[in-house]
Amino acid sequence: MKKLAMSVVIAALAAPMFAQTAAPARVAVINVQKVLAESTSGKATLERLKKMQDERVAKAKKMDEEVQALDAQINQKKMSLSEEKLAEMTKDLSDRKISMQRYAQDADREVSEARDRALQDLEKQIMPLINQIGKEMGFAAIFNKFESGLVYASDAIDITDMVVKRFNEVPATATAAPAK
């Protein structure tokens, strides 16, 4: 009984320490992918990256067509070519295949690096807007909706559309990133 009384006293003394004295903290979420997809600068950046990728894909396709044509030529003329000419064409085919593989790897790396740079540039432009909205609206925290481990968030706390609107209001010269 004495231990129970002591526990009640400790709980009574500790209760005020854990009671919330301030208003509940407000939180918000933002869908960064939606900001990129719907904002003017985001659309322009994604279009630049798509154009860059399409150019690389077109060149790789052309290289592949050349490799296939040479391979078909070798197979077609295999019996009528001298050993030296056949060896020369086979080496050329092998060199072209290696060149095509290297190009594909380099192109993937270039596109990936350009995407990373572009997204970092956009993030640098968006973060001040998010911070400003957070301060204006008195949020204690703003979470990236799909990268924060968040499982559920009410649409009522989603500020994505507000960020897109403000980001679109920023002068185009301030958000334009040079194409690389």
109 within some domain: yes
Q: What percentage of the chain reaches a pLDDT higher than 70?
A: 81
Q: Please say whether the beta carbons of 46 and 37 come within 8 A.
A: yes
pLDDT in tens, 20-59: 445 567 888 898 889 988 999 999 999 999 999 999 999 9
Q: What residues form DSSP beta bridges with 49?
A: none
Backbone angles phi, psi at 29, to 5 degrees: -130, 155
Q: Which domain holds residue 55?
A: 19-175
113 within some domain: yes
pLDDT in tens, 48-79: 999 999 999 999 999 999 999 999 999 998 88
10 within some domain: no
Predicted structure pTM score: 0.68
1 within some domain: no
Backbone angles phi, psi at 25, to 5 degrees: -70, 135
Q: H or E stretch including 175?
A: helix 172-175
Both ends of the chain: CA-CA distance in Å?
Answer: 77
Average confidence (pLDDT) over 84-96: 94
12 within some domain: no
**CATH code of the domain covering residue 50:** 3.30.910.20
Number of domains in the chain: 1
pLDDT in tens, 10-19: 434 444 444 4
